Amino acid sequence: MLRIILVSVFLIPQTLLAAELGSLTASDVAASRAEAPLPKAAKAAGKYADGMLQINHLLALTGPKLLYTQMADSPAKFEEFKAMWQPVVKKAGLKALPPEYSAGFGALKYETTGGLAIRSFLCDTAHMPVSEKEMESFLTGVLNAEGMKVVGSYGIPADPNIFPKPTVNVYYLTSFNENQDRERQLRYLGVKNRAVKLDLDLLEKAGIKIAALYGKNSIFYVGPRVGVVMAVSNSEERTSKQVSYHKDLIAKRGEKLIGVKTDKLEKAVVSEGEEYFFLTKIYYLK
């Protein structure tokens, strides 16, 4: 029997929805630890350098060539959004286009300058188990070290239903690509099973910059968006069939294979009365 298990992968894109922050539980955080020391961050302006985003409609999401809000349900609220974010667009050195507002959706469009666009990375202390100040300093330090200019760094008030943990949203510049999955961005990759080890050597050979890892199963990185499929089998022959199947799928989707790693499990995985001895991880660029 050929059995394939897709292991849930959690990614934080630049157009992050707050609900995505709930992927790690308190027990996950308690059990995690830094497996590699945090790189020394460039001197940042401390906790939430640009203040707190106290109101939901002031939280800017990033699109291809725009900052936007879907929470400004009145023209007056969009005016507040504009007053806050137009200076950020100017600070980024981008040419602002006329603002647009319609039925709760407000957008600040711009022209890229030097091929650059604004992106954001939202992170909380569940995913990075350090203090708020250390989290902000680390994220801005990574971006600055990679030549990705930080143009804003804001805290978001805790909310038990949306942002239960201290959260920071960092805005920065990167080279624009029509396909944002291919852009060089600050990102997060994690798998829910903490016993699974991500293969950093394969990712680094593909040009992925590993910024930090917590436990074996989650990383912060800079690069295009990484995907991973995981499968278990009970023979090398079946493993080979799994790999061929997923390589074919990746090629058909126009994605790029990074590499494949198969681990022989110390203890078999038992499912529906059958034992599986091999775990295969197939990495690709989305």
Total of domains in the chain? 2
**More confident of the two residues 3 and 278:** 278
Q: Which domain-ending residue is among 223, 238, 257?
A: 223
108 and 174 share a domain? yes
Q: Rg for the chain (alpha carbons), in Å?
A: 21
Q: Which domain-ending residue is among 223, 244, 273?
A: 223
What is the C-alpha to C-alpha distance for residues 198 and 218, in angstroms, rounded to an integer? Answer: 7
Residue 147 binned pLDDT confidence (cut-offs 50, 70, 90): very high
CB 187 within 8 A of CB 121: yes
What is the C-alpha to C-alpha distance for residues 129 and 220, in angstroms, rounded to an integer? Answer: 12
Residue 189 has pLDDT above 80, yes or no: yes
**Amino acid present at 12:** I
Report the run of H or E that residue 201 belongs to, with start and end. Answer: helix 200-205
130 and 219 share a domain? yes
As a whole-number percent, the residues of the chain with pLDDT over 90 amount to 65
Mean pLDDT of 189-196: 86
Q: Compute CA distances 239 → 124, 228, 245, 262, 274, whole Å.
A: 37, 16, 10, 8, 15
107 and 59 share a domain? yes
Q: Which domain-ending residue is among 178, 198, 223?
A: 223
Asked if residue 109 is part of any domain, the answer here is yes
Which residue in 113, 116, 55, 47 sits closest to 84, CA to CA?
55
166 and 131 share a domain? yes
Asked if residue 6 is part of any domain, the answer here is no
Asked if residue 49 is part of any domain, the answer here is yes
51 and 189 share a domain? yes
Q: Which two tokens stand for residue 26?
A: 């308190």
Lowest mean pLDDT among 52-61, 134-143, 168-177, 241-250: 52-61
160 and 246 share a domain? no
pLDDT of residue 56: 82
171 and 252 share a domain? no
Backbone φ and ψ of 270, nearest 5°: -110, 125
235 and 138 share a domain? no
Which residue in 137, 49, 55, 139 sits closest to 91, CA to CA?
49
Sheet hosting strand 150-156, strand order edge to edge: 116-124, 167-175, 150-156
Asked if residue 186 is part of any domain, the answer here is yes
Dihedral of alpha carbons 42, 67, 119, 147, sign: negative
Lowest mean pLDDT among 49-58, 165-174, 183-192, 240-249: 49-58
Q: Give the global pTM.
A: 0.80
What is the C-alpha to C-alpha distance for residues 117 and 124, in angstroms, rounded to an integer? Answer: 24
Mean pLDDT of 255-283: 91
Domain, as residue range, for 275:
228-285
119 and 242 share a domain? no
CB 246 within 8 A of CB 282: yes
CB 106 within 8 A of CB 96: no
184 and 236 share a domain? no
